[in-house]
Chains A and B, each alone.
Chain A
């Protein structure tokens, strides 16, 4: 040991050493450079590195399907609240805000309206991304073409419902990259129709008859929807031509048992042309597409289920529908089997889920006709077993039964009640063992027959309101018969309730956006 006599110098040296030791320690612990502030998001994908591969193209396309079956989409809002519950075939009870759309008490601030609007527009936006980005990706050209076809179909489908439910919608066909891309005015309906038809034609040619996966759009689906677009725009000849491709073809067949159109065990059957695929999820989350593990079950069952079997207030079938069903008997003199698949009323042996009808209801509730279609009677209620979000009976968005009736309608309008028109409607009736309709009807009488048949075939499937709207009878029907909303006392206002309100948010945030009349 060298002994150092403590002098001022050594004391300072000692201090310096100690200080440097401290600083050294700390510099090891500190990365002083500003680079430390660059913290990339380790959890999520940056848009800048997407749309490079075939896998990206597929994922972008799947995302375009995503909104279809969420609870904001056809899982619930589009599956019942914004569609079925508006028809004159059903009669919803008031349930604070939930049924405001159906009872015509809806306001522009209604969250359910904006949820449905949002999901449909998400389909458009995502389809636009696919259509803009996929062409440049190096990948199998056959599949690329199909991907684009699916995106065209989905964009047209979304625009179809947006246009028919809201009437005046913006038409955006390019990816949204900045706020300015959204701040556009509404397009003339004709422009939107043109886009729908153009998209569907492209889809028709791009798509195969057999999809890559069950549930994807096919050329058949594009054809049927294109026909429907022509039908809605009263281009009868074009509609007939498109429908005929389905009607005359052999790709789709009516299933012998009408009920098979609404059961989970017979999903994706021969009659189905475009079907939304529902998924059983015991642990999903309520949220739009983009939510991790969203509920994708048929979640609108409680919105139509009978009182006592739903957390909502319940919905009944209007008496005129019941009367229509009981007007005519089958060839064997029985009640139209479709009645039992569509409604529940107090007939001998009637069941509500697994309960006897008479035990299920008290007092005047026993006199009501309740919705049966799409209910899952293997449960003990709309809520059992398991939660309401578990049911997987797919939504048949387009099925042959509907296409046959649309064909009959278009054919009649184009060429009068031809034998082809008769054949189509009678094909539908034959499946239900109903007798052929009377031959030799006038064009008008045939029209009425088809319209009535649509009720028998399609009640509570969601298109009834759109039918009335395109026939121009919706205001008359509702304002002349207040009893159609006797459960709520709701009143249809002409020149208002024909269309849903544009969500208030979008009116507020886009100065170019105009609210629909009456709201």
Chain B
């Protein structure tokens, strides 16, 4: 695509450096936002510091500690003089330990309240050694018995370990080992104890005695591997996990401001693709775990606090404590026939022990589109259309010639996305509790206006989570109430179908907007869609109550029974009112009969789960066994009505309609009964084994096919636990793991296995409509769930004692028995297809996730980098005998299609002709044997070389699925400041830019500025076909003309925060405060020329939506570039 690209100039830098390099560079530099400053006293005292001072006034040391930890110290000069000199060497010690060490010599201790630490005299009976009133408290008492000890500290592999802190126990006296692991230290006497400590290793104490040389070997500390992950029906130590599970930490959840919580996952977990369907607030988000393995619903299962549901978008993102995504069969098998597309586990926040905490957060921002297209102005448009009319041998329209009005030059795009759209987000939470009862209560109000006029989204959330414990009995409860109100502009994109030569308003028209006059403007159609977006009211309201209660009883030690009851109650209302209006006499450009459509859906899902869990360790054998029975029932009832012809456009309820034209309603009910079991076994934390099985019975299938069993097995080997594993190297922990399992997908809809009679085959006789009943389609009673078989090989590595961790996976997932529509001859009169389990899709991929945590140095700079990378290969291996390739991605009203799914190709691959320039002469056309073609029309490659151009010359033109994707988060904090950066990108995908159809090749609508370069006899050096409205050569056909590189790299989010000094905060009667600014979608590097490379599957209300329309841009709602300012306050 020669310089078709408006934004190409800005992006040239990307092309000079390879994108990969950029990514890696940014991955290693970048950041999200740690949030220091909201800590309570316990957290504060647990903060780790490293510090090395010699003979510095205690005042200086305390202020240094203060900077490092945000703690504030208060003390009276009657207790200690601020200039008392001290020496201190600590490395990565908790603040509490540092304070003990520092203060003990002065017989002082401290009391900590939230962010303030008050130094006080140690109480009576303190065994602290009173420090002398003068002199150096640490290096005093150079007793005659003082001896000098030296030695070497070795790691588990026998290498010298540098940086180990060597302290005399009970003092601050100490040193740090040199690069060879050597140290020399003066100790008070033979009774002294030396404490050797180093991050990632177990501390050791050694009595000096009479030795002058103390050599020791430190053993690694496994504690750092104690991270716990949530798995289905329980939790597991990260170290023992043998499946592929991706986690997102709380800190990285909220770096994006979005209406849809699932959008928060984007770019954060390797192998999980999140497709934003453009930037419309409240628009759906697609989450695809390890590629699409179905032609139906490829969305994962969502489990929120144990409640099994289909979306997490109703959640208040602030309530999320963690998200885990179960990617492989081993991890997901416990969810059986619903797990084939992966499982997203969401855990919401719980209260913690301590004083009641109140946090209030507010954020306000403004948004604008990331990009705008360049359109012709009225003069350019008129010239182009005149050129087209001349080419077509049609008369020029008066509006473009004799009656051209130079005063009219309407920029529809600017009207539609011209002004800044505000976002407001307020949330408040209370939490607290004691050992027996804990609570967390939160509320949120979120209000986002869209960057497109007349669109917006609001959400209200309320949550109450609590936990009660009495003896062996434990009750947990999570309840969420939410309301989401989406008011979309369903006409977005179509307002550009309007032409710049007509004005916006015409007060004489019903509705007040101007329209196209078909003859005057020379267009058969042209509705004022912009005006329609003001007139047509659309609103979708969704209320949801999701609650669960878990009662757990420990029958004997280690054996726990749990009853989990879940309730998922939704009430949805979709409302649309189309008033009467008149723009012009052209198609659909008027409405004489007002119409109201309203549908209510009530859904009730109940879940009952009994689980029995037993965990026991006998010697080196540990096992954990789970068994359970569950039943889930879902029922949706819908009721809709359509009323027409309202006495006035201000009465908008069905009761006011004079004609009740339609009523609809149905019941969708499904039941799932399952038994499940899992055994986790490990030997000495070295050999890990896990086996899972779930047997599901589903009401969706015929009785003979109802039950399916889904087993999985996985094994892990922690090589680093083996004796032969070299200790003390940079690689400190290594685990190999592998898994295999079978999962199912029952996403097929209810009642599909039984034929039904169609009762809508009515006929209108002169006396009225009479009901008719006919068999109109065949059901296939043999339809069963789709099956996916996944092999996963992975490794978890930890370097530098956990400072750097790496998780890598390779997977191979074969999805079999995918439901396809087996076409049948239509002359049977019973439809065109039957559903059959026939196709096979294979997804293979590699995933990498790495995290580096920089341990805070003495300067207090702390940062971490998390990056992930995944590649994927998606191929259809079989469609089933007799099944034709699936065409999809319609991008025109006439039904031109962009994608084809066939054996050997990725799902939804682009398909069409290959444009080979533009014909310059009649001779070329003749040589190609084309008819109805003139110079200036597209020339297409005769791919099969038969000298003819026909459908056999079409080919695959790329795939909307990225070859690889990546994301990186960089978090840093320094003193009170914190910075977070989040970049995300995809590479190797294509986008079908249907804007080029709509605004170059179609009739109606404004034209892209590229149209000014259209071929003419005097402008022959161009890649844009000649102007024509009748298009006899069919230049608009599906071809490579539409296909563009969809790769992008995006600075998704950047946040800079400042935690206010405690002294200041205290004056305001607060316990903490942080202010920040945040920007979203700040920079995008892409060669794509449409609005935005994040296309998703949004499509338009009528086109290119769905799986086979992925990557087809029919004028996607632009992503917003937004700027926020926020404040978090703790009381």
Contact = CB atoms under 8 A, between A and B. Distances in A.
Interface of A: 15, 18-19, 22-23, 25-26, 29-32, 34, 36-39, 41-47, 50, 56, 58-66, 68-69, 93-94, 96-98, 107, 109, 111, 114, 117-118, 121-126, 128-129, 169-170, 172, 176, 179, 181-183, 213-216, 267-268, 277-279, 282-283, 289-294, 296, 307-313, 359-365, 380-381, 383-388, 488-489, 491, 503, 505-506, 508-510, 513
Contact of A290 (B395, B590, B606, B760): B760
A41 B751 contact: yes
Contacts of A29: 565, 606, 608
A22 B697 CA distance: 24
B766 A125 contact: no
B73 interface: no
Contacts of B755: 46-47
B588 A387 contact: yes
A44 B757 contact: yes
B524 A268 contact: no
A290 B761 contact: yes
B629 A267 contact: no
Given A56-B773, A124-B829, A292 B671 contact: no
Nearest to B664: A292
B483 to A, nearest CB: 27
Contact of B825 (A45, A128, A505): A505
Interface string B754-774: 111111111111110111111
Contact of B826 (A46, A68, A388, A506): A506
B823 A122 contact: no
B73 to A, nearest CB: 49
Contacts of A68: 763
Contacts of A38: 699, 703
Interface string B207-251: 000000000000000000000000000000000000000000000
Shortest 3 CB-CB contacts between residues of A and residues of B: A125-B829, A363-B395, A63-B772
Contacts of A385: 590, 592
A121 B827 contact: yes
Nearest to B771: A59
B895 A45 contact: no
28 contacts: A19-B561, A32-B629, A38-B703, A43-B751, A62-B770, A118-B826, A122-B829, A126-B774, A126-B829, A179-B778, A215-B763, A279-B764, A282-B661, A289-B774, A290-B761, A309-B518, A310-B524, A362-B395, A362-B397, A363-B395, A380-B585, A384-B592, A385-B590, A386-B593, A387-B588, A506-B825, A506-B827, A509-B882
Contacts of A513: 825
B959 interface: no
A279 B631 CA distance: 49
A308 B766 contact: no
B47 interface: no
A117 B610 contact: no
Interface residues of B, number: 99
Given A37-B698, A62-B761, A362-B398, A26 B592 contact: no
A25 B550 CA distance: 12
B662 interface: yes
Contacts of B398: 362
Contacts of B834: 179
Contact of B756 (A47, A97, A277): A47
Interface string B576-602: 000000000111101011010000000
Contacts of B644: 282-283
B760 A292 contact: yes
Given A125-B775, A363-B394, 12 more contacts: A15-B472, A32-B673, A44-B759, A63-B763, A66-B763, A68-B763, A96-B896, A277-B764, A289-B776, A384-B592, A385-B590, A506-B825
A290 B931 CA distance: 41
Given A179-B834, A214-B766, A45 B759 contact: yes
Contacts of A283: 595, 642, 644, 661-662
Contacts of A44: 751, 756-759
A165 to B, nearest CB: 13
Contacts of B13: none
B776 A96 contact: no
B772 A66 contact: yes
A118 B750 contact: no
A22 B563 contact: yes
A291 B769 contact: no
A364 B765 contact: no
B473 interface: yes
B671 A37 contact: yes
B662 A46 contact: no
Interface in B799-853: 823-830, 832, 834
A59 B884 CA distance: 35
Given A56-B773, A215-B765, A384-B590, A39 B669 contact: yes
B633 interface: yes
A365 B392 CA distance: 13
Given A69-B763, A289-B761, A508-B882, A129 B524 contact: no
A281 to B, nearest CB: 8
Contacts of A384: 585, 590, 592
A379 to B, nearest CB: 9
Nearest to A15: B555
Given A41-B756, A213-B766, A125 B593 contact: no
B553 A505 contact: no
Given A36-B631, A68-B763, A182 B824 contact: yes
Among B565, B666, B830, B832, the most chain A Cβ lie within 10 Å of the Cβ of B830
Interface string B641-670: 010110000000000000101101011011
Contact of B766 (A107, A215, A488, A508): A215
Nearest to A30: B608
Interface stretch (B58-66, B1026-1034, B1048-1056): B1026-1034
A380 B592 CA distance: 13
B761 A267 contact: no
B932 interface: yes
B278 to A, nearest CB: 26
B776 to A, nearest CB: 4
Contacts of A291: 760
Given A114-B826, A176-B828, A505-B823, A18 B553 contact: yes
Given A63-B773, A170-B827, A308-B519, A69 B764 contact: yes
A383 B761 contact: no
B706 interface: yes
Nearest to A96: B894
Contacts of A179: 778, 824, 834
B827 A97 contact: no
Nearest to B587: A311
Given A121-B826, A121-B829, A182-B827, A213 B395 contact: no
A57 to B, nearest CB: 10
Contact of B773 (A60, A114, A169, A388): A60
A169 B761 contact: no
A488 B565 CA distance: 68
A25 B629 CA distance: 15
A43 B636 CA distance: 12
Nearest to B1034: A96
Contacts of A26: 563, 565, 608, 610
A290 B761 CA distance: 4
B754 A98 contact: no
Contacts of B593: 282, 386
A243 to B, nearest CB: 26
A274 to B, nearest CB: 13
Contacts of B671: 36-37, 39
Among B706, B765, B827, the most chain A Cβ lie within 10 Å of the Cβ of B827
A438 B419 CA distance: 77
Contact of B774 (A121, A290, A489, A491): A290
B789 interface: no
A46 B931 CA distance: 53
A292 B771 CA distance: 11
